[in-house]
Amino acid sequence: MSAAELDLSQPAIVVEDLRRSFGALKAVDGVSFSINHGSVVGFVGANGAGKTTTMRILATLDHPSSGIAKVGGHNVVHYPAKVRRLLGWMPDSFGTYEHMTVLEYLDFYARALGYKGAERVQRIQEVMDFTDLTPLADRLSNKMSKGQTQRLCLGRALLHDPQILIMDEPAAGLDPKARVELKRLIRILADEGKTILISSHILSELGEMCDTLLFIDKGRIVHHGDAESMTRTSATPETLVNVQISGEPAKLIEWALTAPLVKVVDETKRGARLRIESTDEAVLAGTLKRMIIDGLLVTDFHREERRLEDAFIDMLGQIDKGSFKGETAGNVTPQIPPPLPPQ
């Protein structure tokens, strides 16, 4: 029922200069981005950065103070009913009803969506099969684990087979097994061609799962690109090395504090991850040589990929200092298509 309303000539999601203030607080402060059909996009930012506020506006649950948001080609403020037909919304927390089983819960929402008779029964069964809830059909919906509850929430969001899914922190609080399972379901939905915008704090997982990452900081988009481009966004050439020594790791930290071009990224159990401000192999070899000459008993020294978390924290530091050289809100703008004709 949703595909008919989807305007494929326009991006799946378009946000232009979106703003939302709560009193003096600018929760969303001029956010612009566009998401193509079939993309899986991670929405990343610190607590309070403006992710939920942006997503709630896209889900027609809140109005922007100014700016434009379109889902499936429809303005979320002017055509909320059309948007809701196209969109599956998975909030970061949701209520279940006491004394209502999983089946009754899904049946309630399927009826609210207008499904009738055999079609309703079939749709509920499809959703329960997909989310592996069939064995739990008779379980009281408020008596389930966090992972099972999240699957029910996803099932509810999928009942009307939406083409576009917005998921706010779906992996929060899930154990590793439940996270893997959720990731698998998201991958299947992506392979079906659905467009997915998903927020999370678990950057490494988002990097694996998403085609692009959208970074938001203090209500502004600071980067939109793939995970690789994110990890390349560094102000200076650098190499990360993981070093292990025999003996107290503190010795290595102490050594790093005075060594030229070397900074400690974090301590590990047997040593530290170090940032060497060079990509020159002679410098790397020279650093290892100096460690040994200075008496450190080095048992392991290997290069590491820059982690998304490091890149993000680094980028925020650069923004604060005004030295950020990556994609800022300004140069994300070219990804926005030209103004669209009124609907």
d(CA 221, CA 188): 28
Phi first, then psi, for residue 60 (nearest 5°) are 65, 25
Please give the Cα distance from 120 to 14 (Å, whole number).
32
CB of 339 to ligand ATP, least distance (A): 26
Q: What is the CA radius of gyration of the chain?
A: 24
Position 93 contacts ligand ATP (CB under 6 A) = no
The least distance separating ligand ATP from the CB of residue 25, rounded to whole angstroms, comes to 6
Give how many residues touch ligand ATP by CB under 6 A.
11
- Asked if residue 156 binds ligand ATP (CB under 6 A), the reply is no
Rounded least distance, CB 246 to ligand ATP, Å: 41
Q: Which of 77, 80, 49 is nearest to 63 (CA)?
A: 77
Nearer to ligand ATP among residue 64 and residue 73 (C-beta)? 64
Which residue number, 73 or 91, has a Cβ lying nearer to ligand ATP?
A: 91
Contact call for residue 53 and ligand ATP (CB under 6 A): yes
One of 12, 35, 51, 64 touching ligand ATP (CB under 6 A): 51
**Is residue 25 at the binding interface for ligand ATP, with CB under 6 A as the rule?**
yes
Nearer to ligand ATP among residue 19 and residue 251 (C-beta): 19
DSSP strands (E only) in 120-267: 164-168, 195-199, 212-217, 220-225, 239-245, 262-267
Q: Contact with ligand ATP (CB under 6 A): which of 49, 124, 182, 291?
A: 49
Q: Does 48 bind ligand ATP (CB under 6 A)?
A: yes
326 touches ligand ATP (CB under 6 A): no
Question: In the complex with ligand ATP, which residue's Cβ is closer, 55 or 86?
Answer: 55
Which pair of structure tokens corresponds to residue 325? 């050289």
12 binding ligand ATP? (CB under 6 A): no
Determine the 3-state secondary structure of 186 from DSSP: helix
Closest distance of CB 297 from ligand ATP, Å? 43
* Nearest CB to ligand ATP, comparing residues 206 and 243: 206
- Strand order, beta sheet including 66-71: 25-35, 13-22, 66-71, 74-75
Q: Kindly tell me which residue out of 12, 14, 27, 86 binds ligand ATP, with binding defined by CB under 6 A.
A: 27
What does the CA dihedral 149, 152, 154, 159 come to, rounded to 10 degrees? -160
Nearest to 107 by CA among 94, 91, 119: 119
The smaller minimum CB distance to ligand ATP, of residues 53 and 287, is found at 53
50 binds ligand ATP (CB under 6 A): yes
271-276/262-267 β-pairing: antiparallel
Q: State which of residues 1, 3, 8, 22 lies at the interface with ligand ATP (CB under 6 A).
A: 22
166 binds ligand ATP (CB under 6 A): no
- Percent of the chain that is helix, strand, coil (3-state, to 5): 40, 25, 35
Q: Return the DSSP state at 5.
A: G
Site membership for ligand ATP, residue 150 (CB under 6 A): no
Beta strand pairing status for 66-71 and 13-22? antiparallel
* Interface residues toward ligand ATP, by CB under 6 A: 22, 25, 27, 45, 47-53
